[in-house]
A and B are shown apart, each in its own frame.
Chain A
């Protein structure tokens, strides 16, 4: 079979050429503006960019650009004139469909590749470190998503008569279909909007090991009955249903429900979209081959199909209105929704068919649609009202124990798979301790079920039990696994007092692993509290995990930090002439506070003194164990001076302060900033001790 029967490059070229203006505009928007945006973010950011950040404009573009590309390539089928022209050409429908599909895919993939290239360049020319794996994941996620959106738009385009209806059909495929699936299978309490609602759930212990040591029912018969069945209540939990739908739906849902959990890299979602691409292509192809080309410049020739599509688009809103009625929530919002919905229903014909339909017939259709949806919603409710969310202890996939000391990370925690430990945590969750008092510890718990659902709650237990639990986790195999960082995924590090992250090479990766092991295996001494913090960044499947360690957790790490700071100080001293330390407050690390209340004013008036100070001490070797101060004026990576000469600088400030006594501007500034000066001799004495 000749390849030209599938892909006609001349036709593809001509098809692109005829829409070159529109295509060039839309396909260049993301690479240009994303690059500008990322450049400004990357230049000033002290944290590495993550997948969501580098995808910011790509996310918005996912809803627009594939549709524009689809319209440019297939839009001719919506006008009689262009249908006559194109379909009379010696090219088969099969070739047109396949050529346009491949062309669209190549255009979208090309745009994303160029954007990925620009992102890589940003990583190279700015101080931001972007791991190569993240670029690959960016391409994987967005190429699949864009193609998925493009293919589904093509499905819509293949059987409707105008672009607005194509958009509406696509919206039904993207949003209404998964919404309905979720409404039926998930938590339908105003689903999916009300995700912040606290829930009470019941834990069912299938193993004696997770039975509570103490549990009170206070005479409640239902509770006693539950206890007989080994079921125990847990309050204030948040149940998160898995969001494994295709990304276009997931993204909107995440924005509406929990914006802090926008997961772009979701393998299940990606697989679903990949399957959707294949299925969508086949359906679109069949529809296109059999398309009645006389169906154009209107929504559908079939009135029934027209009414069905019009009704389908409003079903999610009808479900929400039904739930709002049932739960007696904000009736004003319901009324507003209802007015919008009725307005939409009557205007739909005007928009899609350029005519106002028969009022009585439209009203009849609206009433029928509302009735059908309400009956379905009622039946779903009747079935689901019987259900109580039950957490069965033997169906737990893993538990995340959000203890900072265990993890050294605010974003990554040990995943506990060990059934004994799971039982222990469940047991402590449902056990009711009579008196917590002040000797209690609390930690966040995330229970991930085999079904993909997540349950979040806070566990509060007496300190002794908590410490015992932490100890058990520390000695578990799960924790051993957690400690073993896959060094390939560790991509950047940053010293707390150096603004920008650095790329981690193999040497630093090894040092980081050693420091990490030291930090989590041993109690660090008191001095560690005042040590500079080293961050390191770990990339895995779209997420950047941040760990923080005391810089003295490893001698090598400490040495590197000292070396870096010493070198940087010298560089700072060499390029001091054009620098002005305005609006900058040097800080004292051990206290974490500003040096003096008025140091901002003092620093602004002692530029020459500071420069002399920097020059004088720029050859000092920096010592992480000692207290230090940092002069940082917030531009660029090399614009900080870090020194252990704390007492010397304090003396300099004191001297300046003395000289300003009686100065009107100074007094005015103190007044404006509501600063009442204290005797600084105590601060000085304290600093001397540390020094």
Chain B
């Protein structure tokens, strides 16, 4: 009998001690923000700027850890976010319109952009069509009237810059040729400076410092205003959007908690300064709005599907 009491007491004690301490989201474990690109780039800078402010907004004792998962042009990280548990501890930044375009084009993806739990939009990073500061061109008309196809330097046929370029040039009826394979903005910028290409579609934020030094000039700003000025207002929808998402299946409650915290974060002084520093447009939007925007962009890029078809064996 005595033995039974002792055993029961010991077992109960063990059970009590090993029972998990019930901590509530978001304090239970570190929160991971996935960046589908290597350190140093635009998406990386945004997340690393956001992380500490998010932690503060979520309350004391919360750890927010950015994690770079580069590969497959951003698809690897996007897949990781997609497959994570929807418990609110993993979110990430995604490339819109990169993933939108990929879906519209019919690429084989291991994730469905529409199914993400869209959380917030931080900013718009508009593109610009840049050319060498030494060139005689002043506007897009000059680029179109070179008497030969204009050469544009881009990273690769699946990059959003490439897609944006194709859509703009085809809509404006400019003959062009895409020269891909350049490594990042650096490669494209030096290509323009060397004169081996005529122009490149680049984020305005990256180009700004070269415009300041006189090395580059902007032929067209791909913003609603710039597009209207060029006579093609619809093109204003193009551009990179910085949006944060969670895995599909997050509860409405979690989405709301995240969305509120993120909106507060985005509207802080620090984040406004961060966006300004990158010369992007501070354009916050909550969960519902962001999801709607993405769906709209999906439809927008669908209409250009025929322009974006993957190159067939025959050269153009």
Please indicate whether A and B come from the same complex rather than being unrelated chains. no
Question: Chain B interface (Cβ within 8 Å of chain A)?
Answer: none
